[in-house]
Amino acid sequence: MRAAGEAGLDVVAITDHDTTAGWEPAVKALPEGLQLVRGMEMSCEGRGQDGRPVPVHLLAYLFDPEHPGFAEERRRLRRERETRIRAMAELMAADGLPIDVDVLTAAAGPSLGRPHLARALIEAGIVESVAEAFRGPLRTGSPYYVPKKDTPLEDAVRLVTEAGGVAVVAHARARTRGRLLDLDHVRELVPLGLGGLEVDHPDHSAEDAAVLRILADELGLAITGSSDYHGINKPIALGAFTTDPAQFEALIAKASGVPVFSREDS
């Protein structure tokens, strides 16, 4: 939060994967003059352009964290993450890699993920960077790769909306991440409550951003931009991409779970 303030942002969103555990510390650390959007990024399964399932990230902003159905789904996702990371770590250990699953899980936060395994691989001297770990032992199709059961995209949009939040499809054209989501699947999410599309993102080319911008306009969706800042795990800078103020207002007008927070409110 301090870094976001120092980067000169007016608004920052915290969207850790599958957990709201960072909300309270973020509220406490928020500097004056910076507004905080409490949110989360969810691991979902959508329909790819080739008709096969494809991993999709859904941003969930300003939802009520107490909504029972959504809270249960977040617990399921975190259990799924832990089971999967443990299984991957055990496969590595069985293959002679010096990875200790208990040390790893004890050091991680509430939402375990492959970046935690990547850091363990760096500490063990197996790889030199998180990116190298994701291209190597952690990649889909690696002998150590174990899939997890993500939330169907429809269910996720419905849950976020029911919890008073606004659902935004994240980086839908990030080609470097693998196969792409069928944009007709995005259309099908609109009647379920989809509120926005992330358009400006470090993994989008200008052409792909333009395609998404046209689609968002056509469907009446808010257009967002963000850096997808990941601290030390990615080289991207805070505030590298931002959201237009009018689009931000349109986005938050769709939410009723928790308000945008600022120091002045407390």
**Which residues contact Zn ion (rule: CB under 5 A)?**
57, 170
In the bound state with Zn ion, the residue whose beta carbon lies nearer, of 57 and 114, is 57
Within 10 angstroms of residue 261's Cβ, the number of other Cβ atoms is 18
In the bound state with Zn ion, the residue whose beta carbon lies nearer, of 177 and 256, is 177
Closest approach, Cβ 86 to Zn ion, in A, equals 22
Closest approach, Cβ 171 to Zn ion, in A, equals 6
The owner of tokens 């993994």 is: 203
Closest approach, Cβ 106 to Zn ion, in A, equals 26
Helix, strand, or coil (residue 33): coil
In the bound state with Zn ion, the residue whose beta carbon lies nearer, of 2 and 179, is 179
- What one-letter code names the amino acid at 71? A
The owner of tokens 């470097």 is: 176
- In the bound complex, which residue of the shown chain has the CB atom lying closest to Zn ion? 57
Q: How far apart are CA 216 and CA 213, in angstroms?
A: 5
Task: Decide if 151 contacts 73 (C-beta within 8 A).
Answer: yes
Closest approach, Cβ 108 to Zn ion, in A, equals 18
Q: How far apart are CA 92 and CA 86, in angstroms?
A: 10
The tokens for 240 are 């590298």
In the bound state with Zn ion, the residue whose beta carbon lies nearer, of 115 and 239, is 115
In the bound state with Zn ion, the residue whose beta carbon lies nearer, of 167 and 170, is 170
117, 174, 231 from 237: Cα distances, Å: 23, 18, 9
3-state helix, strand, coil in the chain (%, to 5): 45, 15, 40
Q: How far apart are CA 64 and CA 80, in angstroms?
A: 22
Q: Are strands 53-61 and 35-47 parallel, antiparallel or unpaired?
A: antiparallel
Closest approach, Cβ 259 to Zn ion, in A, equals 24
Closest approach, Cβ 153 to Zn ion, in A, equals 13
In the bound state with Zn ion, the residue whose beta carbon lies nearer, of 57 and 119, is 57
Closest approach, Cβ 100 to Zn ion, in A, equals 28
In the bound state with Zn ion, the residue whose beta carbon lies nearer, of 43 and 99, is 43
* Nearest alpha carbon to residue 63 among 14, 30, 28: 14
Question: Residues with Cβ < 8 Å from 211, sequence gap 6 or more?
Answer: 173, 183
